[in-house]
Structure 1
């Protein structure tokens, strides 16, 4: 006999009414019933509120009511029960199933049944002699039904889900994760071949792997495509760093110009049109184009776009290649013939100057002609901002004129492709209401979000706002962005609303994928601080967001090192619950806190929770992971018992049959480029323990220096921690690198693993130039 307790008094009363006739023992004060196993299985279903079988004992014939609260579950249960007892041991009351409702009478069965099982019941009957057989078979069905897995329709991931995850992985510096998501997009066929190629370019560019990008077999094909601005800039940078930069560093400007002329065919459409990029390497490549054409004025315009001193110096050197203008040949300026807006549009379009073409199109007075021109220009430019401009003009036309334009197949196709590019649907609010117009400016969007988080324009306008390019973010707007983000953080808005979460993610992606991240400007420091605070408040606990939080925390610390105490508290709170999937994040958080001066013993309780969870997990830990936790533990000092446990676990782990680090020859030089040298202190210490004769050199330079160049030339192994190093440095040392190592992340364990894997490949030849 087994006891069953009922929490609901009505369910107990109904079960007690039925169980008494079967010889069960009732305890009304505690609402418990003691019964045999098969009967108890039926009573348990009555207690937990699922579809139940109500056993009614009779003198010669028993009745079984299959009752439920909803029709769907009731029909499923009837089908299952019938297979077990009908027709061998029981039958329907009318030779077929009849659904009946409980009558709310004075009878306890009718009154309680009507209350608990509003969907009704089906009735079976059987001879009393079959009672125990039916109870056993019913109990067997109940056990199988409880173990039956629920039917779950698996939905393949959408392109948007995978794309957002890809961008988040790039922002977090999770290169392998980003590559896995790219493979999923390819495997599910969610993107065109061209878009997949563009994402691959972005993946390589974020890792600063310019040589690999330039040496792609499909580079020439990529150059022929109309590509997004970021992809265009990356492809030009790959060409510039691989071919032109070595000659620039050697001051061989004539040779560089000659090489550009020979290579121009490889660059295809990348070098066509008006230069609208502010990225230094791309501007330098355009400068060679203008020098080859002898256009001094165009070079001067490029100089106005340059944002760094190195690019300005290169532009000056390239301009010096041109012969000085002969004052005797300078004629009085001739005023160009006046062009109509339509003529100016067609001329700019033929020259590939899409920005000028759209500006001319906006000056066309006739509405339908203006919209046609804008649609054509936006379609050819491929820029989301141009698409947005053209579509807004189209949507503002009266409905009859929109329908008339859509009747033209070519125009209809252009509209469809532009709408797919921008993604928001055409506004359904009348254009006569200016307050309902979509927002097309980040600062206005954030200002509205801080004052009215429920404004319907926010979600509708976000794709439009997020399509802005780098040229939008001037120094003044970055300063204002910090203020807007601070207002949003303190406004009391629900930061986890989908459109607010998406907006913050897009801003993070833009800033963390900036080649110059983290920037030294004070305004950027305030933006990093605001994004850090909002990300922390949103509490989106996963690996990618956690690594993004760490990158923002370190960017904030570079501007305000005295905030380390509060940041250490935030990181411990963020990772307060040890989750094995976030083990690498916890170790990287320890790296950051150690590098910026946190006292190890203050982390002892937090470290102990994590280390004990890692050790208790039912999995095999490799030696490198155990060594890392032990090294952190020696700094934190969580207690001798835990350190002894780590040492014992390390001693019991599978020994290295061949230690590739110990096998490295005496004086083998490993050069590590990283912005924060203290981040790799434990890397150097662990490697030295395994091979004291290694020559370890850490370079934290921000730009190409003589020391950085010499290290790249003389090191036997070069390690570039791309998530924590300045773009100007990695770009400048590119011509001197030979098969560098790119760790999967900036954590010390990841760096150690990458060095160990490269050492295991062999190739211990000393650097030739040393």
Structure 2
């Protein structure tokens, strides 16, 4: 007992000494002008070294420019979301307009920021700046935050949610194009427990795949162990798509099959663990990767069989020209690999966490049959939904008549809460993607989905899905009655969620109302008023991008008589000129893309915005991505092939908080302002960045 206590005390002493060394390095006057003012720094230095529950708050001063900032650092990686909530409560956006809600991308060439990243991780730190006349107020607010957090009674940071609800919200965040929310939910799922390590890795793989972060996916710790356990086909497809983006596509674009083989043959590439898969059962990019993998492994006989099977399936287009010599005169069947059954309870797995058997075992005749089976948690139905999500060729066309719309709406209206939770988690993503792809008009079904979910969902993940539902509904050219019913569901209890921190989401909704023709002008105006009123009431808390958007939308919707003008810009607020730049904006909603381009051209003509809604990579898209200063990816309903492709060829990638045009414009302006601030401090233009 005595030895154990001594050991624990020694560990704590060592950790405290290490922390003190880090704080001294941060405040070293050679790198940080704040270190020359010990009285100014004392309260924050003591709080960092002696504190246990509050985040680290450390000031920094650049004497050459007179700029200053406060670095707020989460003590543990999983606490970044909790630190964000504290900063929203204490400083943002009243005192700090940007930097309080998203961790900063740390510069590994900067002595201080590289030390922060090494100790606390690359996504642990918020960087707060305030105008000169508000710096003392910000200083006092951060001191107050430290005092209250350290002195308050010990409590849980947040009320625990059932694991099934967290998984449902995670899927909703990915579907709705809210990657930062998905990251926070993934952290919460990991802390709460209930999933096996393998299933948690599957969720991490899915998030990286949706964001197009192929390199990060392949570098993920434990990936080989995941593949050795024969994961679901959905997970294998994501890994193969990542291999295509990072290893195969760059070589094939130069016309070199040999170079692609050399890359896949390297020890760090896990292609050997996937080489026995049947290419016919995968999407185009994954199938091409498997063919190159067979050649790289020297399995020429298996390669000939796989090519023959693809030819027989009429998928010859996925076979690289350099492999034509392996075509056999007669088509032979490629070897197949039986996939293992689930080893995790269905109620505790997300959409990518059970393994697959042959999809031909069960194929629904209609969406009614599929949704009914999903509501009952039928494993074959859940597997079918996962296959549709992975771009693997599994499709279930929607019927185009009004009777089918009525039948689907009636089916959803009769479901119990537990049935609807299953549908939301497993089937909503492939269903809405099919609606988006087909362009069909299903106003009753979309209205029923909204009515079934909006009453109890007000969190960011489900607001993102609601934005997608609104966009799909407005496409249907609804009748005045359907329009009024839908907007009534949309605006139920808006006062509970519309606030300064959700301003861009609320403005996205208003922007969609303005972008589409309306069957009832009065109904649209009333809905816009309900969404904008809470923002107008607290306009002083909005940043300049949201204020400008609110003014523009008020004028477009002829609300000038209600609000002659919004809050005028704060003359004391620090303004950063928007520099010239070239930006690529990618997304599947061309209406949003067009409005972003028009808005930026009218207000910031020095920023050239290129648009893309391509589903796969192309030579043109490669050149645009390479020449852009950064790319903005709207991940809502995006295809993994295109997002992977853009990420590989872009200098830098930024993810907006929402999928509407206001969120995208805000993301562009914040990134340009961040670059303008950082330029004098030595951050290079070509530094790769993953925001969110």
CA displacement at 1:203 relative to structure 2: 0.9
Of 187, 190, 204, which residue of structure 1 is paired with 2:208? Answer: 204
Whether the 8 Å CA contact 2:374–2:427 is kept in 1: the answer is: no
The Cα of 1:201 is off from its aligned counterpart by: 0.9
Q: Mark the CA change 1:639 to 1:479 in structure 2 (over 3 Å): closer, same or farther.
A: closer
1:501 deviates by 4.9
Do 2:443 and 2:473's aligned partners in 1 also have CA atoms closer than 8 Å? yes
Of 370, 373, 383 in structure 2, the residue corresponding to residue 467 of structure 1 is: 383
Residue 234 of structure 1: CA displacement?
0.8
Paired position in structure 1 for 2:550: 629
Mean Cα displacement is larger for which, 581-590 or 316-325? Answer: 316-325
Do the aligned residues in 2 keep the contact of 1:714 with 1:767 (CA within 8 Å)? no
1:536 aligns with 2:536: no
CA contact (8 A) 2:288 2:319 kept: yes
Matching residue of 1:608: 529
Question: Pairwise mapping of residues 324-339 of structure 1 onto structure 2 (< 5 A)?
Answer: none
Tell me the distance in 2 between the aligned counterparts of 1:707 and 1:459: 43
Contact 1:176-1:744 at 8 Å conserved across structures? yes
Q: In the superposition, relative to structure 1, how do residues 640 and 748 fare at CA in structure 2: closer, same or farther (>3 Å)? A: same
In the TM superposition, residue 700 of structure 1 has moved relative to its aligned partner by 4.0
- Residue 283 in structure 1 maps to residue 287 in structure 2: yes
CA contact (8 A) 2:584 2:625 kept: yes
In 2 relative to 1, CA 491–354 (structure 1 residues): closer, same or farther, beyond 3 Å? closer
Aligned mate of 2:643, from 701, 722, 730: 730
Measured after TM superposition, the shift of residue 478 of structure 1 is 2.9
Question: The residue matched to 1:718 in structure 2 has which SS?
Answer: strand
Q: How does 1:375-390 map to 2 (within 5 A)?
A: 381-384=339-342
CA distance in 2, matches of 1:623, 1:703: 35
Contact 2:240 2:289 in 1 (8 A): yes
- Counterpart in 1 of 2:436? 518
Q: Does the 8 Å contact 1:670/1:719 carry over to 2?
A: yes
Q: State how far apart, in whole Å, the 2-side matches of 1:264 and 1:489 are.
A: 49
How many residues are aligned here? 496
The answer on whether the counterparts of 2:280 and 2:309 sit within 8 Å (CA) in structure 1 is: no
Contact 2:271 2:293 in 1 (8 A): no
Deviation at 1:225, TM superposition (A): 3.5
Q: Distance in 1 between matches of 2:573 and 2:282?
A: 50
Q: How far has the Cα of 1:243 moved from its partner? A: 1.0
Q: TM-score, normalised by structure 1?
A: 0.56
Q: What residue in structure 1 maps to residue 497 of structure 2?
A: 581
CA RMSD of aligned residues (A): 4.2
Q: 1:658 aligns with which of 560, 563, 575?
A: 575
| Structure 2 partner of 1:699 | 612
Please tell me whether residue 257 in structure 1 is matched to residue 261 in structure 2: yes
1:740 to 647, 653, 658: 653
The 2-side partners of 1:446 and 1:324 are apart by: 43
Partner SS for 1:319: helix
| Structure 1 residue 633, shift from structure 2 partner | 0.6
Partners of 1:265 and 1:629 lie apart in 2 by 49
Flag the 1:442–1:461 CA change in 2: closer, same or farther, 3 A: farther
1:673-692 superposed matches below 5 A: 673-680=586-593, 683-684=596-597, 687=600, 691-692=604-605
Distance 2:395 2:582 in 1: 45
Q: Give 1:245 shift.
A: 0.5
Q: Secondary structure at the match of 1:669?
A: strand
Instruction: Determine the C-alpha separation between the residues in 2 that align with 1:241 and 1:621.
Output: 39
1:445 and 1:676 map into 2 onto residues whose CA distance is 24
Task: Select which of 242, 248, 252 maps to 1:248.
Answer: 252
SS at match of 1:579: helix
User: Separation in 2 of the partners of 1:323 and 1:580?
Assistant: 63
Q: 1:585 to 1:315 in 2, by over 3 A?
A: same
Does residue 478 of structure 1 match 2:397?
yes
Q: Give, in whole Å, the separation in 1 of the partners of 2:632 and 2:370.
A: 45
Residue pair 1:213, 1:235 contacting (<8 A) in 2 also: yes
* Residue segments in structure 1 that go unaligned for 5+ positions in a row: 1-151, 334-347, 356-380, 385-416, 425-438, 451-456
SS in structure 2 opposite 1:271? Answer: coil
In the TM superposition, residue 313 of structure 1 has moved relative to its aligned partner by: 2.3
Is residue 177–residue 637 contact of structure 2 (8 Å, CA) maintained in 1? no
CA distance in 2, matches of 1:488, 1:444: 10
- Segments of structure 2 that go 5 or more residues without pairing to the other structure are 1-155, 350-360, 688-692
TM-score w.r.t. the length of structure 2 is 0.61
Partner of 1:489: helix, strand, or coil? helix
Preserved contact between residue 669 and residue 696 of structure 1 (Cα < 8 Å) = yes
Q: Quote the residue 1:298 is aligned against.
A: 306
Tell me the residue number matched to 1:195.
Answer: 199
Corresponding position of 1:639: 560
Shift of 1:315: 0.8
Shift of 1:210: 1.8
Task: Write out aligned runs for 1:346-385 (5 A).
Answer: 353-355=336-338, 381-384=339-342
Instruction: Give the direction of change, closer, same or farther, for the CA distance of 1:319–1:493 in structure 2 (3 Å limit).
Output: same
2:234 to 230, 236, 239: 230
Q: Secondary structure at the match of 1:190?
A: coil
Q: Paired residue for 2:622?
A: 709
Listed as ranges, the matches of 1:469-508 within 5 Å are 477-479=396-398, 486-490=406-410, 494-508=414-428
- 237-246 or 255-264: bigger deviation: 255-264
- Residue 465 of structure 2 is aligned to residue 548 of structure 1: yes
Out of 584, 590, 601, the residue aligned to residue 510 of structure 2 is 590
Task: Specify the alignment match of 1:758 in structure 2.
Answer: 671
- Residue 207 of structure 1 deviates from its aligned partner by 1.8
Quote the Cα distance in structure 2 between the aligned partners of 1:738 and 1:566: 48
Q: Look up the match of 1:572.
A: 487
Q: Distance in 2 between matches of 1:549 and 1:224?
A: 38
* The structure with more radius of gyration: 1
Q: What residue in structure 2 maps to residue 376 of structure 1?
A: none
What whole-Å deviation, never above 9, does each CA across 1:617-644 have from its counterpart, x for those lacking one?
5983333322221111111111334032
Query: What is the CA–CA distance in structure 2 between the aligned matches of 1:591 and 1:729, rounded to whole Å?
Result: 26
Report if aligned partners of 1:719, 1:740 keep a CA contact under 8 Å in 2.
yes
Which deviates further from its counterpart, 241-250 or 603-612? 603-612
Of structures 1 and 2, the one with the larger relative CO (CA 8 A, separation 6+) is 2
The farther-off stretch of 159-168 and 273-282 is 273-282
- 8 Å CA contact 2:287–2:318 kept in 1: the answer is no
SS of match in other structure, 1:157: coil
Q: Distance in 2 between matches of 1:488 and 1:698?
A: 35
CA distance, structure 1, for counterparts of residue 542 and residue 387 of structure 2? 48
Deviation at 1:248, TM superposition (A): 1.5
SS at match of 1:468: helix
For 2:289 and 2:527, locate their aligned partners in 1 and report how far apart those are by CA, in whole Å.
Answer: 52
Residue pair 1:564, 1:596 contacting (<8 A) in 2 also: no
Contact 1:443 1:480 in 2 (8 A): no
